[in-house]
Amino acid sequence: MAQSKKQNIIPKEQAVFWMDRDGTWHNEHGKLAHPKIIKYFNQSIHKDDQGYFLCQTMNDVEEKVYFPYQDTAVFVVDLVKKDTGIELTLNTLDIIALDPGALYIEEDALFMETEAHLVKFTQKALARMSSFLTETSQGLALNIGRTQTVIREK
């Protein structure tokens, strides 16, 4: 008979860390700076009906720590042009395809709506994306191959 794991759930009000609107992790001492800790946190991000949380399993206990964040907890950190389009690397290390029709601009930030997450582009990703962007009479547009898509503003 399989035993179910015990769960330890920590609500976001009790979390000792949070993520700012740029995807930077913080605790009471300031910004987290250790790359391995940041990578571990990002890879541990999950989402359910309660919001975003970090999840880890130790022995037979699954710990879920919900954490405060602004806008979203999922960010585009890099992108690669492929023959089929542009692949986006997320802070969670997932790779997804760029969907030009799902892009929008809000308060000088670029977002993409997916079924699973609202994804925000980091400054580094925006810099990498700049070669695909053009200012048009209708606004900022994304150019991939022979296709130009105007990015809507919210």
Dump pLDDT digits (tens) for 129-149: 999 999 999 999 999 988 899
78 and 50 in a single domain? The answer is no
Question: Would you say residue 1 lies in a domain?
Answer: no
For the segment 91-112, what is each residue's pLDDT rounded down to a tens digit?
999 999 999 999 999 999 999 9
Q: What percent of the chain has pLDDT over 90?
A: 88
Q: What is the mean pLDDT of the chain?
A: 94
Do the Cβ atoms of 106 and 154 come closer than 8 Å? yes
Q: Can you give the pLDDT at residue 2? A: 54
If one counts the domains in the chain, the total is 2
Residue 22, strand partner residues: none
In this predicted structure, the answer to whether residue 8 has a pLDDT above a threshold of 80 is yes
Domain span holding position 34: 6-66
Residues in the chain: 154
